[in-house]
A and B are shown apart, each in its own frame.
Chain A
Amino acid sequence: MTDARKPWVKPSIVMHRSGMVNKFGSVQRSQWQDQLAGVSVAALVEEHGSPLFVISEQKLRDNARHLLHAFATRYPSVRYAWSYKTNYLGAVCRALHQEGAWAEVVSGFEYEKARSLGVPGNEIVFNGPHKTRSSLERAIAEGARIQVDHLDELYLIESIARETGRRVPIGIRLNYETGYTENWSRFGFNVESGQAMDAAWRIANSDSLELKWLHSHIGTFVLDHRAYGAAARIVAGFMNDVEQKTGCEIDAIDIGGGFASHNALQGIYLPPEQVVPSLDQYAEEVCTPLLEATYERVARGRPLPTLILETGRAVVDDAESLITTVVANKKMPDGRRCVIVDAGVNVLFTAFWYNHQITPTRDLTGAPEETVIYGPLCMNIDVIRKSILLPPVRTGDTLIVSPVGAYNNTQWLQFIEYRPRVVLVHGEAEVSVVRERETLATVTELEQLPPHLAPTDHDGQSPDPSR
C-alpha cells in the first residue's frame, strides 16, 4: 500500500535578524552517512548499543604510516613514540606498536600499562612532572628513556643511580619562546634564562648521570607550523651549544607532539581544512633546520641525532567516532531548537574546546535550523554543540560525532551514566569489542560498605520519624 501523503517535518519559524540572515534559505543540502569504516551504523547500534565509540584500525595505521613517511622522507633517522595519554586503550596502543611505535608515557600507571602491553623498557620514553621513586627505580632498571622535568627529579634519579651503582643516561625537557606559541614554561628547564644550561652542567658534573637526549613539547593543537621550525632551530642550537660547553654527546632530539588534527577548535574562525597544516608541512618545518644544524657534525663523521616524535592527536583523532542517539527535541524560549542526545560531555570531554562535526545517518529533509545539542546529564555544562545548523531530527535518529579519538577515552569519567562500549573495526569490516560497557558491578567494584550501612530486610519501608 502506498501512502500519497507528504512526509512530516517538524514545523519551524525563524526570525530574520540583521547580519544573521541564513545565506541560502532552504537550498543548503545536508550531508549524511550511514556507515562507519564500512560497517552500518544501524547494525552497530543494534548490536552494541548507543552511545558507542567506533575506532577504525585501518585509519589509525594509515595515519601513523603517513606521519612516519612525512618525516622519514625528510630526515634519515626518525622514531615514533605513541603518546599514551592521548588514547591508552590496549587495542589502540597495540595497533601502533605493531606499526613500530615506541611508547611515550607520563606516569607510573602509563609505564606499567606499556610494559603490560609488551613494550620493552628501552622503548619507553618516560616524560612528565611527576615520576615516583618506585616508578623511576623500575624505569632505570629496565633502561627506559627518562626525560627530566625539574631539578628535584634530577637529584632523585642521581640518588637512585648511586644506590644501584649505575650510570644513567637521561634527557632534559626544554622550554623556550618560539615566537609563535605561548611558552609552556611550567614544564622542563628554560633555555633563555640559562636554566637549561645550568642543569646540563650539573649533569656533566655527575659521576652517575649522562645527558643523552633533549626533549621539548611546545604546546597542543599548534596551528602555526612555523612554531616547529623555531622549536627545531632552538633545540638543535642548544644541542650544539651544550655539547660544546659540557662535552656531552646528544644522540636524540625529541620534538614532542602538538600537531593539530582536523577538528574545529572553538574560537577559530576558519574550518579545519583551511587552517590545519598538513603533516608534510609540520615535517618540513622540523626537518629543515635540523639538517642545517647538524651539517657540521655529520661532516665530522658523527651520526645524526635520532628525531623522536610523540604525535598523539594527529594520529588517533580522526580514527575514532562516537555514535549517539537523539532522545528529545525541545524549543528554547529564545526560539532556538535544541536536541538532547544520549552521549554527554563526561564521555566527550573534547566538546569543551572543539566544535565537533555532527553527521546525520540518514538524509534529513527540512530546512536546517540553528540548533543546540545537549547531552543527557543533569548538568548545565553538558553541551555537545552550542550552535549548529541542522535539519529537524526525530527521537531515535542517530548522529555521528567526529573526530573523537584523542583524549576522550582517557579523560572520560563515569558520571551519572555508564560509560559505553568501544569497538574496533578491522579486517574485512569485522567488529571487535575493545572495551566493554560499564555495569553496576564495574562502577561499585571498588566501593566498600561499612557493616552498619549495609542494606537490611527493613529497607524500602519508611524510616521511623521518631528516630
Chain B
Amino acid sequence: MNARPDNPGPGLAVAHCLRETDIFDGRIVGLGYEALDPGLHLPEYCDAGYLLPYPSAGDSTFLERIALIKEREQIDALIPCLDAELPSVTRLLSEIERMGIATYLPSPDQLELRNKDRLEELAAHAGIEAPRTKPVADAQFFFECTRRGWEFPLVVKGLFYDAAIVRSPDQAVTAFKRIAAQWGLPVLVQEFLEGEEVNLTGVADGNGRLLSPVMMKKLALTDKGKAWSGITVSDDTLLEASRSLVERTRWRGPLEVEVMREPDGAYRLIEINPRFPAWVYLTAGAGHNALDTLLRLMRGERLDCEEPAPAGVIYLRYAEDTILPLEEYESVVMNGWRTPLEPHQESSP
C-alpha cells in the first residue's frame, strides 16, 4: 500500500481502480509495512489488511508471510505497488506462483534495465535522449567537472533514491557525501533539466504492445514536489517513445514512463517505474481503467485497447481523516493483520 499522508503510494489508488472494474468483485487484501498505513485500515478499498516484512528481512521471511496470507485469505493474485518490493517478488516468482498466486510483472532483466545508471540504454529503446549521467566515485570530480563539460547546476543522485540540485562544487560535495553515506557508491551526476514533466502509465503485454495508455501532466504540486492535481493530455512524442520502449524491451506488466519536455521541445527520459503510479485512479476516470486491463491480461484475454485516453480529464487529490478503533490497531500490531478472524480460523503462531 505504502500510503503516507505526505507521500501517497499507489496502493490505495490501485485498490480504488479495482473496486471500479466491471470484471472483478472479489476481496481486496491490502499489504503494508507499517501499522499506521491507511491502506490496511480503509474498508471501502480493502477487505483485509496485512503487514509484510521489509525486503531487508530476507526472502524466506517474505515467502512465509505470503504463504500465511494465501492460507488465510485465499488470494489469487498479487499486484506489487512499491519499487523496493519488486526485485524480491520477481526473484521469488516461481515460489509465489507455485502457491497458486498469479502475477503480471516484468522479468528481473527488465527490472535491471531501470537501474539509474542504465538510463541511456533505456532511452535508446525509447528513441529519445536521456539526460547526460555519469557515475562518480570520488568527490574530487566536482572541482574539475566544469573543465570536463559538466556545468552547474547539476543533479546529484543516489543509486536507488535521493537527489539534490547543486549549484557549486561545495554544495555538490556535501550532497555527494550525504548520498554516498546512505546509498553507497557510485553516486550519479546528471545534467539539470529545465522544462515540464509529462508522465504515461499503462500495461505492457510482454509481446511488445502497450495497452490502455494514459498520459498526465501535473497541474499542482505539494511543497514536496508531489502532484496533487493533474490532467490527462495527448502527447504523441511521449506515446511513441513509450510504445517503442515497450516494444523493444518486451516489457511485461504495469509501468509508468516519466519524461521531461524541454523549452525547445526536446524530450528527455527521466525514468520508468515498474508499477502503477499514485495517480493511477485517473485512468479509471478517463475511461481507461488500468486495473481492468491488467486483470484481463492476467485472465489471458486478448486486448486491443492501444489508443490513448482522451485529454482533459482532471484529478484532484485530497486528504481525509478516518477512525481507527484501538482493537483494530491492536490486531495489526500484535498479529500483523487487520481483520479479526472467526475463532475456528485461528491459526497457531
Contacts and interface: CB of A to CB of B under 8 A. Distances in A.
Judge A-B direct contact (beta carbons within 8 Å): yes
A24 B186 contact: no
A25 B333 contact: yes
Contact of B137 (A24, A28, A183): A183
Interface string A259-289: 0000000011111011000000000000000
7 interchain residue pairs of minimum CB distance: A25-B334, A21-B35, A24-B336, A27-B349, A182-B137, A271-B58, A23-B51
B138 interface: yes
Given A23-B51, A24-B336, A28-B61, A179 B186 contact: yes
Contacts of A28: 61
Given A21-B34, A183-B138, A16 B55 contact: no
A18 B58 CA distance: 22
Contacts of A439: none
Contacts of B53: 23-24
Contact of A180 (B56, B59, B137, B181): B137
Given A28-B61, A29-B64, A274-B87, A177 B137 contact: yes
Interface of B: 33-36, 51-59, 61, 64-65, 68, 87-88, 91, 135, 137-138, 160, 181, 184-186, 332-336, 349
B341 to A, nearest CB: 13
A195 interface: no
Contact of A269 (B33, B56, B91, B138): B56
Most chain B C-beta atoms within 10 Å of own C-beta, residue among A18, A27, A223, A267: A27
Contacts of B160: 269
B335 A27 contact: yes
11 contacts: A21-B333, A23-B33, A23-B52, A25-B333, A180-B185, A181-B186, A183-B137, A269-B56, A271-B55, A271-B59, A274-B88
A267 B184 contact: yes
Most chain A CB within 10 A, of B33, B36, B349, is at B349
A29 B332 CA distance: 18
A179 B186 CA distance: 7
A16 B333 contact: yes
Contact of B135 (A25, A29, A179, A223): A179
A23 B57 CA distance: 11
A274 B334 contact: no
Given A26-B334, A273-B58, 8 more contacts: A22-B333, A25-B335, A177-B138, A182-B138, A270-B56, A271-B56, A274-B59, A274-B88
Contacts of A182: 137-138, 185
A23 B56 contact: no
Contacts, number: 74
A271 B59 CA distance: 9
Contacts of A273: 58-59
B163 to A, nearest CB: 17
A427 interface: no
Contacts of A19: 34
A303 B45 CA distance: 67
B36 to A, nearest CB: 6
A268 B183 CA distance: 8
B51 A270 contact: no
Nearest to B59: A273
Contacts of B91: 274
B238 to A, nearest CB: 30
Contacts of B336: 23-25, 27
A181 B57 contact: no
A27 B336 CA distance: 8
Interface in A1-60: 16, 18-19, 21-29
Contacts of B349: 26-27
A271 B57 contact: yes
Contacts of A27: 68, 335-336, 349
A16 B51 CA distance: 15
Nearest to B161: A269
B234 to A, nearest CB: 39
Nearest to A185: B138
Contacts of B56: 269-271
Contacts of A25: 333-336
A182 B135 CA distance: 11
Given A267-B184, A274-B55, A181 B335 contact: no
